Amino acid sequence: MADLQRAVQALLDELVESGEEVGLQAAVYVEGQLAADCVAGWRSQDRETPVCEDTLFTVYSCTKGVVASAVHILAERGLIDYERPVAEYWPEFAQAGKGSVSVTQALNHLAGIPQTVQVAGKSSGEIWADLDLCVAEVARLKPIFPPGSTVCYHGLTFGWIAEGIVRGLGLSLGEIVAEEIVKPLHIGNEMYLGTPASEHGRMATPFDKPLTGEPPAIDPLALQCVPLDLAEALNRPEVRSAQVAAANISTTARALARHYAALVGEVDGCRLISETHLEQVFSQRVDLPDVTLEQFAAVPQETPRAGGYQLNTGRRDQIMYFGPNPRAFGHDGYGGSFGSADPEAKVALGYAKTLLHTDQIPVRFETLSKTRFIETVYGNL
């Protein structure tokens, strides 16, 4: 796999040297083995500290893929039933007409409450740093859409709903990620949901690419789901240390890829979810259009999902593009990061970055460096 390592490294070097990117990590697992582990560029906008193999990146909504895996691990053990209402695990969630929302509907962004939590007198960062507050406020949210009727990206509430479910089992998502994913995969210093202050010194500081021209017109609903101050708020120390279970896992690209590799095969003897259970997850597929993501895209988007994972469309102009094989799946993150797995090729990818390409709205996804990374990998297998 030396050719793959060289090809990916050359791509990252080119992206940074051209100015298209500032700092990058990219990793590839093939048949359970680390086949490429590459870095380039800088950890922050000031370009003073280089990205290293152990630099931690906030990967935004890539968090959802890892949290989905945590839920599926519990489901395979019989602790969570996908078809049961969320309120059976978390009675407070039944408020405001949400009593019928099933676990499957919540994972597939059908709960009807995409709006983020707002509390008078508190900033986004202050709210997100208080997990108990967020869970309590989500329980009180009134659906914008009738539950089960409309897919609308639950940019932040996805994680707080999942936290409420596992709290009903006497657990927390932070514990599950640490004990059931990080520990068996031996990535104890490379993935955190709630990053200890002692590790903040090796974290990258992602930043939004400055807008050029007039700000785009964005539907207010979309801004409720994905606030414009997302990157700024998640860079705050108190939020880095908190558990924002839809958006703030900090990880290396190789740890993210290792997690996905363990979903489609064994990695050093560890498989997180059995092949049989993964097929059960895929049976939850939903192909409804996502009314939020449409707001950000230059062309109509296919948005297939199953159990919290995004499913591959096989189309370069789609946000849910994970390569040539139709059974690939994963999750992207704000600004261009992503993680994915391909059960056919037994390939898993992780991609993390400093510069967030949020200036190009509507987005042409085929122009993002993510696409070039994917195609470089598959062209060198």
Place of tokens 């199953």: 306
Helix runs in 26-100, H state only: 62-76, 86-89
Q: Give 264's contacts (C-beta < 8 A, 6+ positions apart).
A: 278, 341, 342, 343, 346, 348
Identity of the residue numbered 345: A
Buried b (16+ CB within 10 A) or exposed e, 250-271: bbbbbbbbbbbbbbbbebeebb
SS3 43: coil
* pTM beyond 0.85: yes
Q: What is the DSSP letter of 88?
A: H
Question: In CATH, which of 3.40.710.10, 3.40.225.10, 3.40.50.300, 3.30.470.30 is domain 2-378?
Answer: 3.40.710.10
Whether residue 348 contacts residue 341, with contact meaning beta carbons closer than 8 Å, is answered with yes
Whether residue 172 contacts residue 165, with contact meaning beta carbons closer than 8 Å, is answered with no
Per-residue pLDDT at 276: 98
Tokens read off for 301:
């988007």
Element (H, E) at 16: helix 2-17
Whether residue 164 contacts residue 71, with contact meaning beta carbons closer than 8 Å, is answered with no
Tokens read off for 95:
């408020």
Buried b (16+ CB within 10 A) or exposed e, 283-309: ebebeeebbbbbbbbeeebbbbbbbbb
Distance CA 331, CA 340 (A): 6
φ, ψ (nearest 5 deg) of residue 281 = -60, -45
Whether residue 134 contacts residue 312, with contact meaning beta carbons closer than 8 Å, is answered with no
DSSP-derived pairing of the beta strands 249-251 and 191-193: antiparallel
Element (H, E) at 4: helix 2-17
Beta strands in 47-125 (DSSP E): 57-58
Per-residue pLDDT at 213: 65
SS3 246: coil
Quick one: 223 exposed, middle or buried, by C-beta within 10 A (0-12, 13-18, 19+)? middle
Q: Which of 187, 197, 198, 207 is nearest to 260 (CA)?
A: 187
All residue ranges of the chain with pLDDT < 70 are 212-216, 359
Task: For 123-173, write each residue's pLDDT tens digit.
Answer: 999 999 999 999 999 999 999 999 999 999 999 999 999 999 999 999 999
Spans of all domains in the chain: 2-378
Buried b (16+ CB within 10 A) or exposed e, 128-160: bbbbebbbebbbebebebebbebbbbbbbbbbb
Q: Which residues pair with 58 in a beta bridge?
A: 250
